[in-house]
Chain A
């Protein structure tokens, strides 16, 4: 009985860690600080092609959110974390739909709407 992994049958609360947790927090702090410093450096630099900067910033931010999830909130890919990851995946889906959908619809509305000066001239 003790040979099989008992953890496979149980869940873990989000935020509960299994291993030496101080190391986890230190690694997380180091990685997050590194990504933050790179973000702030990239935002003001002229070393790279200008339009690529927002893309780089978005990638760095998503990477840092991943670092926070893994090292601070202890969301892992282990079998005890399936429920937490599924809830997270659903949350991310809603966030993507909400932000992406809003931007998409509003950009089209802007594009299809008559320019404001013409609209006000018609109303006179």
Chain B
């Protein structure tokens, strides 16, 4: 251990001390973050299958409504603003965690939760409105693909909201321990990745669909 590379890790510059208290936890944080990054990429591959399905089926409306008839871009713009702002406040929360500032962390996480819940609420209202108009997932292949793709993203955001509350509770009960900080890192990666998927989603589904 002390033979070949003595100070390569201990001499690391720039990062906050909470991130890198010792060589052991440094490598663990990197391994955990990298593993979660691999998971996120596989999740994105799964979403790409739903995107491919949607793109193949987008014109198969079976005489029913198309995206042009159904999509309300004002609603989508508000949803997009919520999710983008929540990505930013999630970044503020990870700054709070890395600086060991519980007030900043909890406040930013609470704002993130409110924005994420607003997103899920708007999406649920949109889905309910479509089903009430007879444009539910059983109406056409296009709508089946639409509800699968957008609903899958909505489920991810809902799961992320539960995870967010869990992280707030864990920090409240246990403080900024190294293992808690690793979970916060994974959560923020998850939340930012959901925003990336939403960028593809509002472009391909809503903007291209409404402009056809």
Contact = CB atoms under 8 A, between A and B. Distances in A.
Q: Do A and B come from one complex?
A: yes
Interface residues of B, number: 59
Contacts of B188: 15
B211 A91 contact: no
Interface in A72-109: 72-73, 83-84, 87-88, 90-91, 94-95, 98-99, 102-103, 106
B177 to A, nearest CB: 17
A102 B15 contact: no
B34 A84 contact: yes
Given A32-B84, A65-B196, A13 B30 contact: yes
A83 B32 CA distance: 13
Given A14-B34, A16-B19, A103 B55 contact: yes
B131 interface: no
Contact of B200 (A21, A22, A65, A91): A65
A39 B49 CA distance: 24
B13 interface: yes
B166 interface: no
Nearest to A91: B41
Secondary structure dominating the interface of B: helix
B22 interface: no
B77 A40 contact: yes
Given A7-B13, A65-B200, A102 B44 contact: no
A65 B52 contact: no
B152 interface: no
B34 A6 contact: no
A25 B92 contact: yes
B34 A13 contact: yes
Given A58-B203, A68-B196, A25 B49 contact: no
Given A15-B188, A33-B84, A68-B196, A95 B9 contact: no
B195 interface: yes
A111 interface: no
Given A9-B5, A10-B8, A72-B195, A43 B52 contact: no
A90 B41 contact: yes
A108 to B, nearest CB: 12
B192 interface: yes
B52 A99 contact: yes
Contacts of A25: 88, 91-92, 95
B176 interface: no
A83 B202 CA distance: 30
A16 B98 CA distance: 9
Given A6-B11, A21-B95, A103-B56, A61 B45 contact: no
Given A10-B12, A65-B200, A94-B45, 17 more contacts: A6-B7, A10-B9, A11-B34, A12-B30, A15-B33, A22-B92, A24-B91, A36-B80, A44-B211, A61-B199, A68-B192, A68-B196, A73-B189, A99-B48, A102-B52, A103-B55, A103-B56
